[in-house]
Amino acid sequence: MQDKRQNQYFASGLDLVQFFVSLIDPLWHIHPRILLRRFKMYFNAIKNNSLSSCLKNGVRDLWTHSSTAIEGNTLSLKETSFILNEGLTVSGKTLREHSEVIGHAHAIECLYDLITTDTPVTEREICDLHKAIMLNPPMDSLAPIGRWKVESNFTQQINEHGKIVYKEYPKPKEIPALMSKWGSLIPSIQTDEPVIQYSKLHIAIASIHPFADGNGRLARLLANLPILKLEFVPITISNESRREYISILQNTKIDNALNITKGLNTFVEFAKKEWESSRKLYQQSVQKSH
């Protein structure tokens, strides 16, 4: 019961101030032992609020590092954390790499805001997340930021015969309708297990590839919506699993209705493994923080 009473003050610094005011007004009507108990609750709330913020930053740092590293960012976890927590730069690293981690961290905050405010995920919210991810991009009219792609995009794959093949993602004119269907997936799969919801959302948006760039980071963020809504730690895919991740993702298929026709079970098992690794890392962070 005490934990629940403390947690209600975690939302903001203003809540803590209001709580403090409630403690001292009016002091002369409160029994000393009750007053002491309330002051202990207040200082525990401050301590736990600081711890909660620290752990949230740890999740942000690990998530940002793993997702940007998959895309080729060479900043280490320690360097990523230094940039995000100290607001300083790392010598010898490019502006692009700094912008990628700062942008991704901001996108995580935007994602939490969507969940906190229970905002439906529409084209506007997805495009705003894309803007956050693509911080300080090179100017290119053919690669718009915060808008659907205007040119077709492709990926290179190795097929089952060991030959290089090129896969074309859906054409620009198909994107609005496909992403509208993707948004409709979120409520329609709520009865599935969380990791299955994550996998379906991830595979679908990665297969659509709605933007010129940043699609992988966006998929790994948006797919965690049902995970975060249930107050679980996010599924983060480590850079060490990059080749396996790309290989499994390339062997998935969806139809025009965004039903996954190939590779769902394999991806789910992979996501479960990565989620377990994620939880262990977060648990280690919790233990170090105590």
pLDDT > 50? residue 3: no
Greater confidence, 142 or 73?
73
Helix 194-208 and helix 175-188, axial crossing angle in degrees, nearest 10: 180
pLDDT > 60? residue 154: yes
pLDDT > 80? residue 12: no
State the pLDDT at residue 158: 76
- Please report, as a single letter, which amino acid is at residue 16: L
Cα 25 from Cα 250, distance rounded (Å):
63
Q: Which domains does the chain carry?
A: 2-289 (1.10.3290.10)
- pLDDT tens for each residue of 163-215: 888 889 999 999 999 999 999 999 999 999 999 999 999 999 999 999 999 99
Among residues 221, 251, 254, which one has the least CA distance to residue 237? 221
State the pLDDT at residue 138: 86
Helix 95-116 and helix 32-70, axial crossing angle in degrees, nearest 10: 130
Are the beta carbons of 242 and 70 closer than 8 angstroms?
A: yes
pLDDT > 70? residue 263: yes
Cβ of 78: how many Cβ atoms within 10 Å?
Answer: 11
Q: Encoding tokens for residue 129? A: 């997340």
What is the pLDDT confidence band of residue 9, given thresholds at 50, 70 and 90? very low
What is the pLDDT confidence band of residue 156, given thresholds at 50, 70 and 90? confident
Question: Would you say the pTM of this structure is higher than 0.85?
Answer: no
Which residue has 């969380």 as its token pair? Answer: 194
State the pLDDT at residue 32: 53
SS3 letters for the chain? CHHHHHHCCCCCHHHHHHHHHHHHCCHHHCCHHHHHHHHHHHHHHHHHHHHHHHHHHHHHHHHHHHHHHHCCCCCCHHHHHHHHHHCCCCCCCCHHHHHHHHHHHHHHHHHHHHHHCCCCCCHHHHHHHHHHHCCCCCCCCCCCCCCCCCCCCEEEEECCCCCEEEEECCCHHHHHHHHHHHHHHHHHCCCCCHHHHHHHHHHHHHHHCCCCCCHHHHHHHHCCHHHHHCCCCCCCCCHHHHHHHHHHHHCCEECCCCCEEECHHHHHHHHHHHHHHHHHHHHHHHHHHC
State the pLDDT at residue 119: 93
Lowest mean pLDDT among 61-70, 127-136, 149-158: 149-158
Among residues 63, 46, 33, 37, which one has the least CA distance to residue 6? 46
- Residues contacting 98, CB < 8 A, separation 6+: 75, 83, 89, 90
pLDDT > 50? residue 24: no
